[in-house]
Homo-oligomer: A and B are copies of this chain.
Amino acid sequence: MNLILLFNEDFIEPNGRVRLTGRRLKHVREVLRVSVNDELCVGLVNGNIGVGRVTALDDSVLEMDVRLEQAPPLPLTVTLILALPRPKVLRRVLRSAAVLGVKRIMLLNCFRVEKSFWQSPFLEQEAINEQLALGLEQARDTVLPAVTLCRQFKPFVEDMLPGLIQNTIPLVAHPAAEAPCPRALGGAATLIIGPEGGFIPYEIEKLRACGCALVSLGERILNVETAVPALLSRLF
């Protein structure tokens, strides 16, 4: 935790006094091992970053005075569209996307996504936000990504995708593609990553028909946890 993410309800005085309990208190006490008067890196969700000076600390509560004067890091100009991965993988991928600065994530159904994945409790908004917050705290960012669930492939590709890709470079990561993934795009992208086993030919055709280019990172077939940072770091 390189930044403690604060929420509006943490503020007990409008001038910037904050009270923490629960997970964040435990982390501050047991991992960061702070004392009164120590300063911590903090940030308000969807707001500025700054410093919190600890004014009170015991087993059950920490209070600090915070100043929030610095803007968070710039976001990546990408919409990340992922075939819904299995639940355990989903949690790590959400966290990793948040660490990397992705602000718009869409989870997509397709033929090779197991139907049971859509029943996972990890898809509840609270569970998603928990992983995203962990990513922001790691990366020292505050801007919570928006995650959208797209439960039907065809309506998504036909009705939503054309609007989403406007003014972006739309790419489908596809191990069998001949074109290498471009480097340092210098502009906005829409990045689409398929399921384990890949998109089926019908899906690839629908994505191509919409204007997406197929790109590859080489001969090796990457798992989605590895592909997300590898692709984003290549593109941005």
Residues of A within 8 A of B (CB): 2, 73, 92, 96, 99-101, 138-141, 183-184, 217-223, 225-234
Contact = CB atoms under 8 A, between A and B. Distances in A.
Contacts of A139: 220-222
B73 A220 contact: yes
10 contacts: A73-B218, A73-B219, A99-B226, A100-B226, A101-B220, A140-B221, A183-B183, A225-B225, A229-B230, A230-B232
A223 B231 CA distance: 16
A36 to B, nearest CB: 22
B229 A138 contact: no
Given A227-B229, A229-B229, 11 more contacts: A73-B220, A99-B222, A99-B223, A99-B226, A100-B226, A138-B221, A217-B233, A226-B229, A229-B233, A230-B230, A230-B232
A100 B225 contact: no
User: Which 9 A-B pairs have CB atoms at the shortest separation, nearest pair first?
Assistant: A230-B233, A139-B220, A229-B230, A73-B219, A229-B229, A96-B226, A226-B229, A233-B233, A233-B234
Given A92-B225, A226-B96, A140 B233 contact: no
A220 B96 contact: no
A208 to B, nearest CB: 23
Contacts of A229: 222, 226-230, 233
Given A232-B230, A233-B230, A223 B184 contact: no
Contacts of A99: 220, 222-223, 226
Residue of A73, A138, A141, A223 ringed by the most chain B CB atoms within 10 A: A223
Contacts of A231: 233
A220 B183 contact: no
A229 B228 CA distance: 9
Nearest to A233: B230
A141 B220 contact: yes
A222 B2 CA distance: 10
A196 B211 CA distance: 41
Contacts of A217: 233
Contacts of A92: 92, 225
Contacts of A218: 73
